[in-house]
Amino acid sequence: MNAMLPRPAYEDSLMQITFPDDEPAFDGANLTVRFLACVDGEPVVCAITAEALEDHFGAESALEAALMAAFDKGRQRIRSVCAEALDQNNGEGVVLHSGLFRVEGLEPDRGAA
């Protein structure tokens, strides 16, 4: 039997990190958008700050609608950076702050048009 295992979200990961298609949730008390990751099959709650969504994904304000639209726009990159952070902290939940998107090796190619 040849079962297809899901491909890791991040190719050098030592863990199996995937992201379900569940809808993210706005957390107004902490000004974050929460989302789920699965690390080796176990759900892990992660979040991205309003500041990161404003700085890197075009959110025009910290209002729920603006943050959720920015999360949708940047979903692929957010998941990629999250997978890297999860791999580095042994699969514990993470809060993605703006600075993580500026870390060398995680920033997209600035030379691309």
Contact present, 6 and 22 (Cβ < 8 Å): no
- Hey, where are the domains in the chain? 17-98
Q: What are the tens digits of pLDDT across the range 53-65? A: 999 999 999 999 9
Fold for domain 17-98?
A: Double Stranded RNA Binding Domain (3.30.160)
Q: What are the tens digits of pLDDT across the range 19-31? A: 999 999 999 999 9
Q: What is the pLDDT of residue 2?
A: 37
Which residues neighbour 19 within 8 Å (Cβ) at sequence distance 6 or greater? 9, 35, 36, 37, 38, 79, 82, 83
